[in-house]
Structure 1
Amino acid sequence: MNVPPLRLPDTASIKAALAGLDPASADADLIPALAAAFPGFDFSLAHVDDDYWRDTRSVIQPDGTRLGELRPWMTAELAKDNGNIRALWTRLKATDLQITEWRGTSAFVFALTGPDVADYIQLALGREIEWRAGPIVNPNYCPFSEEQLFDPSWPSRDPLPETDRLAGPVYRLLDRAGGAFVHVRSFLDRCGRVERDKREAKRPELERRVVRETGPRGTTRETPFLELVPDYFDFVPRELRFFRDWEESSAGSQRVFAHWALDTRDYTYKGEREVGFIPRPLRPPKERLLPTPDASVHILMDRIEAVDREVGLPFGWFFLMTHGHWVDPDVGQAIAAGLRDQRVRLPDRDARVLLRWAERTYGF
């Protein structure tokens, strides 16, 4: 019996599923709603604590009655005072009008599409709540420009009481340059293809390029650039190396999306296309691992093992190191040197990955 292939989600269908969620039960209903919209997928959800604020604000009365979006409403009010900002400020600070703001955190949804390490899809969502943020203007400070009226800075960034919640939570696809929905296998293929195309476009120029070196008594020698960099056209982007290293190391026993989300990007800037991602750990360690002058390679081995236990992933320290924040790259270089000197040991496949990285490093 032939089983028809699963239909990959599309942006319009995802938005429709999200729009149908009731804010009162959105957290509990999100995964069931996606599963109903896209049968055959086993979705999982991960929240990331990364507070952000949208620039969408409304004007409300104390009872919650909405008067309109802040910018057009404020523009109309300013026109009533013939553009006189001080007159408008004096008038508005005597009112009890308030402004709202949307605060959000990221949420990522994943689902497998096949057996290989990159065979999965990712949805990048925002979980957002609208709050009563503060008075319509700062009563103690007159703004000096229209933009300060349109983009107020006086509302507190501290957590707000539940009594100030107005709407939400709602989930929406984040507006990202790389697309909020990606099929990771296809995205990696795109990364590799775009990088190859960029380098191939430079081939005629590089085949003509020479590097001039000055020798004794003013003599010069010209060496073709491609002789100095013979593997220029074999370059593998860091995004592909990340997944290859995962698959070939002890980490490959677990799924990437159980530990990492991807901030993807795909845009064109000044005529050149940029495609890639920054990995974001879903459960980072509590403390950074930095090399210290008195830390031997054996102490570092104890510390990376502690990191692996904390994050629940064998060889997890290595991928935290490629990110560059939680584990310093010098830790990796020190352990690689210990491997070469046979002073420490790693599982064979992890040692191969680390030594390959140490020979040609990459990071995000």
Structure 2
Amino acid sequence: MSATPLRIPDATSIEAVLAGLDPASVDADLMPALAAAFPSFDFSVARVDDDYWRDTRSVIRPDCTRAGELRQWMTAELAKDGGDIKALWTRLKDTDLQITEWRGTSAFVFAPTGPGAGDYIQIALGREIEWRAGPIVNPDYRPWGEEDLLDPSWSRQSLPETDRLAGPVYRLLDRAGGAFVHIRSFLDRCSRVERDKREAKRPEMERRVIREVGPQGTRETPFLEAVPDWFDYVPREVRFFQDWEGSSAGAHRVFEHWALDVRDYTHKGEREVGFIPRPLKPPKERLLMASDVSVHLLMDRIEAVDSEVGLSFGWFFLMTHGHWVDPAVGQAIAQGLKAQRVRLPDPDARVLLRWADRSYGF
């Protein structure tokens, strides 16, 4: 008997699962629904506190029936007044029409597909609620441009539960082509795109020279002779995972500690592919470098960071992220390692020294 082929999730099938969830129990039902649709995967979810607003708004009447989508409705109303913004505002400010808005936070669903650091899938979701945001126009201030009507920025920041209209619902967040990603395949794509970009520049690089002016005159060195590994460049996204696997952090799964804001799009004919890592368990305070701090004190502080986030060598990956740990901390510890003033586990020391020699960050 042949084995049942593994059904890999895709955007259409995931959207079908999400559409079938009841808002009253959506948070509790999300994982069971995905598991039922894709029984070969062990799903987990991480929710991120990063409030955002969708640009989709509706116009509603007092009984909550909908008059239409805000931009289309407002554009038609403005045409009735011949484009006179003041006249439209005067007409609308005393009506009982209101607008709605969708507010959301991110959630990331993960499922391993193998033992390697990059062997997993990630699904980027938005958990969204539609709210009654306020009157159709600000009655106290006349709008000065059409965008003030089409994209109002005066809605309230805090809304009572009585103004909830719909949701919560989950939807795929395909902001830049990264709603559903198999990470191993994505890393291969990062390498391939970077390799193709550099290969396309081979004729230019072969012609380029580095000119140095000194006492003996001008010396010209072919660029590729000075930088022989230019075509072997490893993207930072790939290095992140290589360093994870090569360090003591590799005892954990990446997705237990990080979500990835993935992008894959084309801008002005140029392919842009990569990600920005987002810590799921950031430390409470940033670790910044100070001129009077000894390397031994830095060692104490990175150990405290690792303990707080629950990950050996976690400080290093927070450092590549660029916000939570100052890269100068990594450089100082690397110098301490070279001078044999401090020690790290051998795998971690190799990763740090490699980074210090050719640093990267997000």
The correspondence of residues 1-364 of structure 1 with structure 2, limited to 5 A, is 3-156=3-156, 158-216=157-215, 219-364=217-362
State the AA in 1 paired with 2:88.
L
Alpha-carbon distance in 1 for matches of 2:5, 2:251: 26
Q: Following TM superposition, by how much is the alpha carbon of 1:209 offset from its aligned partner in structure 2, in angstroms?
A: 1.9
Q: Following TM superposition, by how much is the alpha carbon of 1:63 offset from its aligned partner in structure 2, in angstroms?
A: 2.7
1:97–1:136 CA contact under 8 A, matched in 2: yes
Q: Following TM superposition, by how much is the alpha carbon of 1:5 offset from its aligned partner in structure 2, in angstroms?
A: 4.3
State the AA in 1 paired with 2:21.
L
Residue deviations 1:262-313 (CA, integer Å, cap 9, x gap): 1111112222211111100011111100011221111111111111111111
Alpha-carbon distance in 1 for matches of 2:158, 2:282: 23
**Higher deviation after alignment, 113-122 or 199-208:** 199-208
Alpha-carbon distance in 2 for matches of 1:148, 1:28: 39
Q: Following TM superposition, by how much is the alpha carbon of 1:153 offset from its aligned partner in structure 2, in angstroms?
A: 1.4
Alpha-carbon distance in 1 for matches of 2:316, 2:55: 37
Q: Following TM superposition, by how much is the alpha carbon of 1:147 offset from its aligned partner in structure 2, in angstroms?
A: 1.7
Residue deviations 1:240-275 (CA, integer Å, cap 9, x gap): 100000001010000000000011111122222111
Q: Following TM superposition, by how much is the alpha carbon of 1:347 offset from its aligned partner in structure 2, in angstroms?
A: 0.9
Q: Following TM superposition, by how much is the alpha carbon of 1:41 offset from its aligned partner in structure 2, in angstroms?
A: 0.5
State the AA in 1 paired with 2:197.
K
Q: Following TM superposition, by how much is the alpha carbon of 1:221 offset from its aligned partner in structure 2, in angstroms?
A: 1.9
Alpha-carbon distance in 2 for matches of 1:150, 1:215: 62
Given the two structures, how large is their TM-score scaled by the length of structure 1? Answer: 0.96
Segments of 5+ residues of structure 1 without an aligned counterpart are none
Alpha-carbon distance in 2 for matches of 1:84, 1:204: 57
**Higher deviation after alignment, 28-37 or 180-189:** 28-37
Alpha-carbon distance in 1 for matches of 2:226, 2:322: 29
Q: Following TM superposition, by how much is the alpha carbon of 1:82 offset from its aligned partner in structure 2, in angstroms?
A: 2.8
Residue deviations 1:170-220 (CA, integer Å, cap 9, x gap): 111112223300000000000011111111121222122222222326x22
Q: Following TM superposition, by how much is the alpha carbon of 1:233 offset from its aligned partner in structure 2, in angstroms?
A: 1.2
Residue identity over aligned pairs, in percent, reads 81
Alpha-carbon distance in 2 for matches of 1:290, 1:222: 41
Alpha-carbon distance in 2 for matches of 1:342, 1:255: 31
Segments of 5+ residues of structure 2 without an aligned counterpart are none
2:178–2:261 CA contact under 8 A, matched in 1: no
What secondary structure does 1:288 align onto?
Answer: coil
Q: Following TM superposition, by how much is the alpha carbon of 1:2 offset from its aligned partner in structure 2, in angstroms?
A: 5.6
Alpha-carbon distance in 2 for matches of 1:155, 1:31: 33
1:178–1:275 CA contact under 8 A, matched in 2: no
Alpha-carbon distance in 2 for matches of 1:178, 1:193: 17
What secondary structure does 1:327 align onto?
Answer: coil
**Higher deviation after alignment, 208-217 or 99-108:** 208-217
Q: Following TM superposition, by how much is the alpha carbon of 1:343 offset from its aligned partner in structure 2, in angstroms?
A: 1.1
Alpha-carbon distance in 1 for matches of 2:235, 2:50: 27
1:291–1:330 CA contact under 8 A, matched in 2: yes
Q: Following TM superposition, by how much is the alpha carbon of 1:62 offset from its aligned partner in structure 2, in angstroms?
A: 2.4
- Structure 1 residues 81 and 204, CA, compared in 2 at 3 Å: closer, same or farther? closer
Residue deviations 1:158-178 (CA, integer Å, cap 9, x gap): 221111111001111112223
Alpha-carbon distance in 2 for matches of 1:323, 1:2: 45
Q: Following TM superposition, by how much is the alpha carbon of 1:151 offset from its aligned partner in structure 2, in angstroms?
A: 0.7
Residue deviations 1:90-140 (CA, integer Å, cap 9, x gap): 121111211110001111000011111110000011110001111111111
State the AA in 2 paired with 1:258.
E
State the AA in 2 paired with 1:352.
R
Alpha-carbon distance in 2 for matches of 1:258, 1:55: 31
- Structure 1 residues 143 and 359, CA, compared in 2 at 3 Å: closer, same or farther? same
**Higher deviation after alignment, 47-56 or 4-13:** 4-13
State the AA in 1 paired with 2:244.
W
